[in-house]
A and B are shown apart, each in its own frame.
Chain A
């Protein structure tokens, strides 16, 4: 984002359903609930929405990719919500919500639409094992890992964590500080799946998956949805909520600190950070790459209590993917917006004007956003 485009686009409405593991409702009904909530939150109606960007894809290996059932497409949302004015509609191919935020920002900046709805909905399918992978053959990049039994999520993260622990002397007890904090934050979030604290005994005692990763180092698959509405700054000021302006947007994975160049801000200007925790060790990774602490220091930084609400840099204040539930980052965007809007309730960081949101995996880029009061 060029400096001239700072604070030209804002998030003006937030919608979020509870995250559950048992439900009789369809995924489509969760998506509609979140979308309507976001639209009404902005003081708009479905027929005011003229742009849409979503991430339909279901991420589990066993996914059927059936519209309305385990995914929701833009076409499904447009017809279900009666958004008859939508003329700019894009479905992104990856699950990560940053892609649709980027699309929404560009659609608005290019004048292609006035009010954009962004949605991410995910289903926990009943029966079977979420991560179960059966494949007779592996092609593409997977030909070098599939035949060896390495999966692309937990396994890859386990290799990163193993190396980090070896290089810096970090331990699972250190990582528990992050797990404990995110669970505490989830307990302050009525939409979160987890509503109870996580003891060190339970965390360290969980069975190993790809060692040293256990299920508490992974996000919790759930059924739920979230949505945001974005518009241009000139329109934002006339709507129902205090806007959360986008002061910076960067997708430079090689140098995540590019966000500071494009926003004209530095780590010291950030009062809270919604760091993507699709896998718990990502929090250490982001703390370092975004210069909130030195390389190799993140495990100590978190252990010292700095990432808790009330600490030096509250992190993932709504519980994240591990505490609230898996939503490929749109939950992080919603919380970032709510914090800037001063609507995070018991989770509100006092005196916050600027919140960073970083979405992405250790091995592939997403985006970093800075949200600001403007």
Chain B
């Protein structure tokens, strides 16, 4: 176990987002979905914005998506992060416009491309913090 303390900010869940992080802790990728119109809502909201339906339920999604946009951070003013690292906006296959931000892991930074197929993976950062990440997928 490395002696270095992970100083990257930990996510602070709130009542609307707690299930997302609890699922991640169990290595499950779940998003809120409207019972009425079936739209996924991310970032999580208390009701479905499309139909005002208050009944959202958390459902596991495939974790598959593509890199819609990405950036490589090469400077060092983000506390806790060692440059260079990638940050991507991943569009999930379930719904157009359903975006999740994450780092792309499991490949060289130079390999990250627009449209790159990716899949969710999980990064255990501490005894109590796990965050979803994305890595290249072949299929």
Which residues from chain A sit less than 8 Å from chain B, CB to CB? 129, 131-151, 155, 158-160, 162-163, 166, 207-213
Residue from the list A140, A155, A162 in contact with B73, Cβ < 8 A: A155
Chain B residues positioned under 8 Å from A147 (CB to CB) = 8-11, 125, 131
Chain B residues positioned under 8 Å from A212 (CB to CB) = 71
Asked whether, in the complex, the Cβ of B103 is within 8 Å of the Cβ of A158, the reply is no
Asked whether, in the complex, the Cβ of B69 is within 8 Å of the Cβ of A136, the reply is no
Asked whether, in the complex, the Cβ of A159 is within 8 Å of the Cβ of B10, the reply is no
Residue from the list A133, A139, A149, A166 in contact with B87, Cβ < 8 A: A149
Chain B residues positioned under 8 Å from A138 (CB to CB) = 9-12
Chain A residue at smallest Cβ distance from B83: A149
Q: Mark B40-70, 1 if CB is under 8 A from A, else 0.
A: 0001000000000000000000000000111
Q: Assuming A138-B9, A159-B89, is B81 touching A149 (CB within 8 A)?
A: yes
Chain A residues positioned under 8 Å from B38 (CB to CB) = none
Chain A residues positioned under 8 Å from B68 (CB to CB) = 163
Asked whether, in the complex, the Cβ of B103 is within 8 Å of the Cβ of A149, the reply is yes
Asked whether, in the complex, the Cβ of B78 is within 8 Å of the Cβ of A209, the reply is no
| Contact of B102 with A by CB under 8 A | yes
In the complex, A162 Cα to B100 Cα: how many Å?
16
- In chain B, positions 108-137 with a C-beta closer than 8 Å to chain A are 114, 125, 131
Given contacts A131-B77, A162-B70, 11 further A-B contacts (CB under 8 A): A136-B7, A137-B11, A138-B12, A143-B17, A144-B101, A159-B87, A162-B71, A208-B74, A208-B75, A209-B73, A210-B73
In the complex, A246 Cα to B80 Cα: how many Å?
47
Which residues from chain B sit less than 8 Å from chain A, CB to CB? 7-14, 17, 43, 68-75, 77-81, 85, 87, 89, 100-103, 114, 125, 131
Q: Assuming A132-B77, A159-B87, is B8 touching A210 (CB within 8 A)?
A: no
In the complex, A139 Cα to B102 Cα: how many Å?
16
Chain B residues positioned under 8 Å from A143 (CB to CB) = 11-14, 17
CB distance from A238 to the nearest CB of B (A): 49
Asked whether, in the complex, the Cβ of B10 is within 8 Å of the Cβ of A158, the reply is no
In the complex, A151 Cα to B77 Cα: how many Å?
10
In the complex, A163 Cα to B125 Cα: how many Å?
30
Chain B residues positioned under 8 Å from A207 (CB to CB) = 74-75
Chain A residues positioned under 8 Å from B8 (CB to CB) = 147, 149
Q: Assuming A139-B14, A207-B74, is B85 touching A166 (CB within 8 A)?
A: no
Residue from the list A129, A137, A141, A145 in contact with B77, Cβ < 8 A: A129
Asked whether, in the complex, the Cβ of A145 is within 8 Å of the Cβ of B101, the reply is yes
**Between-chain CB contacts (< 8 Å), 8 pairs:** A133-B79, A136-B7, A143-B11, A151-B78, A159-B87, A166-B114, A209-B75, A210-B74
CB distance from A33 to the nearest CB of B (A): 31
Chain B residues positioned under 8 Å from A150 (CB to CB) = 71, 87, 101
Chain B residues positioned under 8 Å from A211 (CB to CB) = 71-74
Asked whether, in the complex, the Cβ of B77 is within 8 Å of the Cβ of A133, the reply is yes
CB distance from A157 to the nearest CB of B (A): 9
- Which 4 A/B pairs are nearest by Cβ-Cβ distance? A139-B12, A134-B79, A158-B71, A143-B11
In the complex, A339 Cα to B16 Cα: how many Å?
48
Asked whether, in the complex, the Cβ of A159 is within 8 Å of the Cβ of B70, the reply is yes
